[in-house]
Structures are given as structure tokens and as C-alpha cells.
Amino acid sequence: MTLTILGIESSCDDTATAVLRGSGDAPVILSNTVRSQTDLHAAYGGVVPEIAARAHAETLDLMVEHALEQADVMLPEIDAIAVTAGPGLIGGVLSGVMAAKGLAMGLGKPLIGVNHLAGHALTPRLTDGVAFPYLLLLVSGGHCQFLRVDGPEAFTRLGGTIDDAPGEAFDKVARLLGLPQPGGPSVEEAALYGNPSRFKLPRPLLDRPGCDLSFSGLKTAVLRARDDMVATQGGMSEQDRSDLCASFQMAVADVLAEKSRRALADAQVTAFAVAGGVAANKTLRAKLEAVTDLPFIAPPLALCTDNAAMIAYVGMLAFEAGRTDDMSLRARPRWPLDVDAAPMIGSGKKGAKA
């Protein structure tokens, strides 16, 4: 059966909408639009939840119109509305869920609450049709975990961060060094001209078994290196800054590569995939690709970062499986994919980790 699904995503600082057509086995992205809130939060050095929620509520209607227009689809042609129902910043998630409920009720169409993490985790199937089981490394501003994906609703978390997410660490390092936000791209650019072995930064948790990760100590080490230079030489040159960025980036890539090696050894999978904004980092991609002989899947950037096509896709799979929600659908700040895994204690830019 050919389905047309509208997807809505508003769990952090991107208001995203998309239209997906086809079936779970052959999905086609008709439109995928994102309105970033970076400019609204720039003055505060991080995402302000209340500002995010209000901005989502104000722009969602328009973004739904955009997605429909670009897809050349009329509202009545939509078979179901899929919306991120968690995990994330609760105000933003609520804005999306309320908008989706309004549409579903007005149109008399089914509503489907989607787990944002499932969206990321299933993206390699949307983009590349990768077969189960595969290992997913999700690395973004709010998340960091290894997931073994056995099916659309079968996830096992093999490890994750115990404090910051890597994107968060990139953003904080950029802030420490006076580089613009989001920090990932600006640190990567500064690192292009830097010497990655000049600063001996730690490789957190490599001395411990398993594939849990930690990034907050690394950020503190960067702060210390900066303060040392300021104390001994009165400041930092462009070259100092580039060297520090390159050393930091290499430390993150080294740790993620080694932990990926361990996760792959445990997971017994047929492919290795990455998702999340940090997966855009070229040094990291190259290191991860070299970890294994298995097929390595890195979706295009627009589908690595937060987007609604992935939400529509999970919605499509749920609809095909006969799972829809009603008006009692609730927004959830926490919603772990692997309900049997112990909760992670870290807290990223999306608030408490799932």
C-alpha cells in the first residue's frame, strides 16, 4: 500500500517537517524542511527551552505548509501524522504534539507518536536500506550511544556517554576558545590548520572495559590548556587555537573509534552506521570507517542531523504495523529505546539523557 505520511519534529532547536511517500520497504522523501533556531539562542550560549518551545509553536503551522508545498501534496492526501513525542526538551516536544493533535483531529486522520531516537536509529534503513542487525553510533548535541538495531522496535544499548554528548563538548570547546556556535563546524574548521599531537589531551574511559564514553573531562582539559597559555604567554595565537582544536578533535575521534571497535566486537552485526550532527565531522568519519571491514553507512548530513523525514519514516513503519495513537498521546522528556538498559546519568543540551 502506498502511504503518505507527514512528519513533525520539534524536540530541540530545529523545527522540522517532512512528507514521506511509499512503503516502509520503499520510502521516498517528497520534502524535508528545517527551520533552525540557532539565531534565537545565539546570545545565550546554549538552547533556552522556553524560547525554543515558543518558537516551535509559532513556526510549526508555516513549516507544515512548507513541507506540503514542496512535496506538492494537499493535506487531505495525508494518511497519518507522525510526530516526535520524546525524548527531548519537553516544551518543544509539547508544541509538536499539540500541533499534530490539532491536525489529526481537524482532518480525522491517525496520529502516531514517534521516539526521536528511533528516528535516528532507523535512518540507515531510510537512506540505504541497510539490513538488520546493524550497529548504530548516534553522536549529536544531545545524544551519544551505541545501539544494536535488530528491527524497527528492537534496540539494545551497548553503551553511551556518562556525562556530556560529543556535540555538546564541541560546542563548549568553541565557547572556551571564542569560536562561533554551533561549535562542531567551527572547531573542525580551525582544526584544519592545527597540529593534532601538540596537546596531550586525555582519552577518557579507554582504560575501562566496555563502550561507555565520557567527554566532560576532555572539555576541562581544553580549558586548562587554554588557561596555561594565557598565564604563560599572555594569550593564544591563531596557531595555538588551531592546534588545540585539532588535538581536541583527535581525542574525540580516537575515543569514539576505539569504543566503536569494542562495540562491534560485542554486537555481531553486518553493518556499522553513524547518525547525529557530529557524524558530519570528516576526521571522525575517516577514523570510524577505518575501524571495520563491514559496510560503513553515514547518511547525508541533512538526514544525520535532526529532521522530520526520519520521524515520518518511523511513523510509516508503525502505521504499517497497525500501531497508531489517539488524543491521549503524551509528550515525554525521557523515552529510552532500550527499556531494559540502566538509565544513563548524563545530561545534554536536550536535558536529561534518554
Measure the CA–CA gap between 66 and 145, rounded to whole angstroms.
Answer: 32
Please choose which of Zn ion, ligand KG4, none residue 160 contacts, taking the beta carbon within 5 to 8 angstroms, the exact cut-off set by kind: none
- What is the DSSP track for 73-99? --GGG--EEEEEEESS-HHHHHHHHHH
Query: 247: closest CA among 206, 195, 202?
Result: 195
Q: Is 306 in the site for Zn ion (CB under 5 A)?
A: yes
Measure the CA–CA gap between 331 and 94, rounded to whole angstroms.
Answer: 6
Among 7, 91, 113, 184, contact with ligand KG4 (rule: CB under 6 A)? 184
Measure the CA–CA gap between 243 and 235, rounded to whole angstroms.
Answer: 14
Over the window 254 to 293, marking each residue x when it contacts ligand KG4 by CB under 6 A and - when it does not, the resulting string is: ----------------------xxx-xx------------
Stretch that binds Zn ion, among 71-79, 230-238, 261-269, 300-308 (CB under 5 A): 300-308
Scanning the chain, the segments in alpha helix (DSSP H) are 38-41, 49-71, 90-107, 116-128, 166-176, 183-191, 216-233, 238-267, 282-289, 301-304, 309-320
In the complex, the smallest distance separating the C-beta of residue 284 from ligand KG4, rounded to whole angstroms, is 7
Strands 347-348 and 351-352: antiparallel
What is the chain's alpha carbon radius of gyration, rounded to the nearest angstrom? 20
Q: Is 303 in the site for ligand KG4 (CB under 6 A)?
A: no
# chain residues binding ligand KG4, by CB under 6 A: 20
Q: Is 142 in the site for ligand KG4 (CB under 6 A)?
A: yes
Q: Which is nearer to ligand KG4, 137 or 278 (CB)?
A: 278
In the complex, the smallest distance separating the C-beta of residue 131 from ligand KG4, rounded to whole angstroms, is 24
Over the window 143 to 182, marking each residue x when it contacts ligand KG4 by CB under 6 A and - when it does not, the resulting string is: ------------------------xx-xx----------x
Strands across the sheet containing 111-115:
26-36, 14-23, 3-9, 80-86, 111-115
Among 9, 243, 306, 325, contact with ligand KG4 (rule: CB under 6 A)? 306
Stretch that binds ligand KG4, among 24-32, 50-58, 135-143, 323-331 (CB under 6 A): 135-143
Bridge partner list, 257 = none
Judged by the rule CB under 6 A, the positions of this chain that interact with ligand KG4 are 12, 140-142, 167-168, 170-171, 182-185, 188, 276-278, 280-281, 305-306
